[in-house]
Structure 1
Amino acid sequence: MDPVFRALGDPARLALLEELGSRNDQTLFELCVRLINRGHSISRQAVAKHIGVLRDAGLLRLTTSGRTTIHHLDPTMLIEARAWIDHLIKEETP
């Protein structure tokens, strides 16, 4: 779970996940434009780096169509993280 929580610990990566959650299946260019339009000053290179961290944590999957790479939110690890947190909360609740 450590890579997941580390990936979720950055505001830029959270913004990327929100963008993909609101409209899945986006290219790097689309993600950059959407983030900039929402007031984030972030370069394409920074977005690419954050996408790599999210992918390595299992939060994104990528598919390629010709020269275009499409980014997809993969909720599997988020579901596992939520289950882990729910387990902790249940242990603390009397």
Structure 2
Amino acid sequence: MSPGHSAAGRGAGRAAGAAPMFAALGDETRLALVARLCAAGPLSTARLAQGAAISRQAIAKHLDVLAGAGLVRRGAGGPGRERRWEIEPRRLDEARRALEQISRRWDEALERLRKAVEEEP
């Protein structure tokens, strides 16, 4: 099997594919929006802007970034004409799997280091 087709190579490809998602989540405001949508379910932009330190327009721009990364989507409309935003659970699951994979690699690397240190005279 060639290096590009090894399990590690495939995992690296998946992690690289998750980079836009993690870049979107790297912003504190966007991370807070995702957390709020996870906790409260679908919400309109106006509801998401309530109590925020930034404008409704800024919230809308952050939601567009999250949508571009596949983390949220516009759901069915609520009361009035404003549509609600909702989490895209499949993408969050991809993020969780990518983080678990990275965590396993670090655990394996630390275990190899521990063994190497213990074997030295």
> Aligned ranges for residues 36-47 of structure 1 at < 5 Å?
36=51, 40-47=52-59
TM-score (norm. length: structure 2): 0.67
What's 2:73 paired with?
61
Structure 1 residue 68 displacement after superposition: 2.1
Structure 2: runs of 5+ lacking an equivalent: 1-17, 112-121
CA-based RMSD of the aligned residues comes to: 1.4
| Structure (1 or 2) with the larger CA radius of gyration | 2
- Tell me the distance in 2 between the aligned counterparts of 1:6 and 1:92: 21
Q: Percent identity?
A: 37
CA distance in 1, matches of 2:48, 2:42: 10
Q: What is the distance in 2 between the residues matched to 1:20 and 1:63?
A: 12
Count of residues in correspondence between the two structures: 89
Residue 100 of structure 2 corresponds to residue 86 of structure 1:
yes
Q: What residue identity is the alignment partner of 1:85? A: L
C-alpha contact (below 8 Å) 2:42/2:75 kept by paired residues:
no
CA contact (8 A) 2:72 2:87 kept: yes
1:49 aligns with 2:61: yes
- The normalised TM-score by structure 1 is 0.85
* Bigger relative contact order (CA 8 A; separation at least 6): 1
Deviations 1:4-35 (A, max 9, x none): 011101011011111111111111111111xx
Partner residue of 2:33? 16
Q: Do the aligned residues in 1 keep the contact of 2:42 with 2:85 (CA within 8 Å)?
A: yes
SS of 2:73 mapped into structure 1: strand
Q: Structure 1 stretch 17-26 or stretch 49-58: which is displaced more? A: 17-26
Q: SS in structure 2 opposite 1:17?
A: helix
| Residue matched to 2:20 | 3
**CA displacement at 1:87 relative to structure 2:** 1.2
